[in-house]
Amino acid sequence: MHQTGYFVGEDCIGCKLCYSVCPQKCIDISKKPVVINQNNCLHCGNCAEICPNQCIEKRN
Ligand code: SF4
Ligand code: SF4
């Protein structure tokens, strides 16, 4: 099954900038790549916008 939402790719360097702008604080930064908790994500796109590595991908 194809899952929609924002997903973090392998290029993540663990800078935590995505977490800093996430209104839900639903990104697990104890892992690398960091992991977005899909159940709490609002699909606001803040994380993808700020990621310096552009490694957060939106899947429709
Ligand atoms: S899309 Fe928004 S709510 Fe979802 S993980 Fe990114 S910053 Fe957080
Ligand atoms: S902003 Fe991008 S590179 Fe930085 S921790 Fe988040 S996903 Fe990883």
* pLDDT tens-digit readout, 2-59: 689 999 999 999 999 999 999 999 999 999 999 999 999 999 999 999 999 999 999 9
Q: What is the pTM of this model?
A: 0.94
3-class secondary-structure state, position 47:
helix
% helix / strand / coil in the chain, to the nearest 5?
15, 20, 65
- Domain residues for 18? 5-59
Mutate to test the pocket of ligand 2, among 49, 51, 54, 57 (most ligand atoms within 8 A of CB): 51
CATH of residue 16: 3.30.70.20
User: How many domains, in total, are found in the chain?
Assistant: 1
**Could you tell me where the DSSP H helices lie in 1-60?**
17-21, 46-50
Mutate to test the pocket of ligand 1, among 35, 47, 51, 57 (most ligand atoms within 8 A of CB): 47
35 membership: H or E segment, kind and range: strand 35-36
Please, is 42 exposed, middle or buried when counting C-beta atoms within 10 Å of its C-beta (0-12, 13-18, 19+)?
A: exposed
